[in-house]
Amino acid sequence: MTEKRLPFTKEELENIIEKYPTPFHIYDEKGMREYARKFNSAFSWNPGFKEFYAIKAAPNPYLMKILRHEGFGIDCSSVAELELAEKIGMRGEEIMFTSNDTPDYEYRKAIELGAIINLDDIAHIDYLEKCAGLPELVCFRYNPGTLKEGNAIIGHPEEAKYGFTREQMFEGYRILRDKGVKRFGIHTMVASNELDPDYFVETAHILFELIVEINRELGIRFEFANLGGGIGIPYKPDQKAVDLDRMSKGIHKLYNELIEANGLAPLNIYFESGRAITGPYGYLVSKVLHIKSTYKKYAGLDSCMSNLMRPALYGSYHHITIPGKEESATKIMYDVTGSLCENNDKFAINRVLPKLAPGDTVVIHDAGAHGHAMGFNYNGKLRSAELLLRENGEVVQIRRAETLSDYFATLDFDGIAPFEV
């Protein structure tokens, strides 16, 4: 069981709302730092261990700076994410660039920053060489196909668009070796939001065995094995968080049996988690606008799926707390909705909650990853602000809310009058 707590009281939250109107996302710095330290501690047996925070989860430079302070690198997948890393002073091998269907200008930016390049396609060896040149260190993303099951979010490996086949891994590293590349990494990621710690141990087993086989056939040594992300979070109260110590213990055992025993140590262990790092420590705070009664009861909020898309996109569960009404004896079943012109714009369906009224504050949990980041402007909805609850209790705005001026900024209204129809 996972207790769904809030890092602030009802009174503290109402004081925040007085200064920053709803809706907004708010992140708990203390929670993020504590988890980061727990993650690092679990893998302290590996001197080169590093977590590269998957910036796609919550691409805010304030959060990135906090996590960098905890020793994390950054995992980027686009030129915008690379530039965000650059803007907080990150360069070199504290940046991992993992993308797919990659345009040439993104490779050039990654090379400019000295980032670790993680190729997704064997054809991109020549593409990278022609557009930016081969760097000293190159990594490939392995897709194990039927050797490993995926899940609904990322797809089954043999059907997913990501990575090299097993045969392509051998051929790709052979090509790199023959072209004079001297340093090598290896990577895989085949699931997302996985809660079973043994899943990651099995992933390490597949990757470590492949490292041994490639070394025997090609004579190359690997500097690191990036086990990817995918560490899930307990969105539902009856779920358990991934046991990092158990996962690490299993990976350590395999490391001794396969890497140490074959003379392939040291091998740095990397991860690129995003959801687990910020997800449980972010909250979408909203207000009830309307209560509607037809064939069902609806609680309409001042936020919508442009603030949090996961329930509409994946049917995902996000826990909901009504501050001040946690112990209410009166319970009613609601669909909790936004105002988009889409019937799937719902944060919850048939959810039993305390009796709601217009003006009630609603806090949606586990919105710190793939929440604000997946926002969009359909129906002219504007993206909300992002706030940070500091360890000392101070609240700072780390991204302002969008305005209509922002929304219209790319339109040429001056050109409308002379435009002939």
Tokens of residue 404, six digits: 């209509």
What lies within 8 Å, CB to CB, of 25 at 6+ separation is 282, 283, 284, 285, 307, 367, 368, 371, 372, 384, 385, 386, 387
Q: Where are the alpha helices (DSSP H) in 255-396?
A: 275-278, 310-314
Closest CA relative to residue 23, chosen from 282, 214, 220: 282
Geometric angle at alpha carbon 190, from 185 and 196, rounded to 5°: 110
What lies within 8 Å, CB to CB, of 15 at 6+ separation is none
| CB-based burial, 166-201: b 16+ in 10 Å, e otherwise | eebbbebbebbeeeebebbbbbbbbbbbbbebebbb
> What pairs with residue 350 in β-bridges?
none
Beta strand 282-293 with 297-301 is: antiparallel
Give yes or no for a cis peptide into 266 (omega within 30° of 0).
yes
Cα 323 from Cα 175, distance rounded (Å): 59
Choice among 76, 131, 304, 341 that is catalytic:
341
147 exposed, middle or buried (CB, 10 Å; 0-12, 13-18, 19+)?
Answer: middle
Residue 341 bears catalytic tag = yes
Beta strand 320-321 with 361-364 is: antiparallel
Cα 286 from Cα 314, distance rounded (Å): 21
Closest CA relative to residue 19, chosen from 403, 395, 404: 395
C-alpha 46: how far from chain center: 24
Sign of CA dihedral 177, 167, 188, 221: negative
What lies within 8 Å, CB to CB, of 5 at 6+ separation is none
Which residues are identified as catalytic?
341
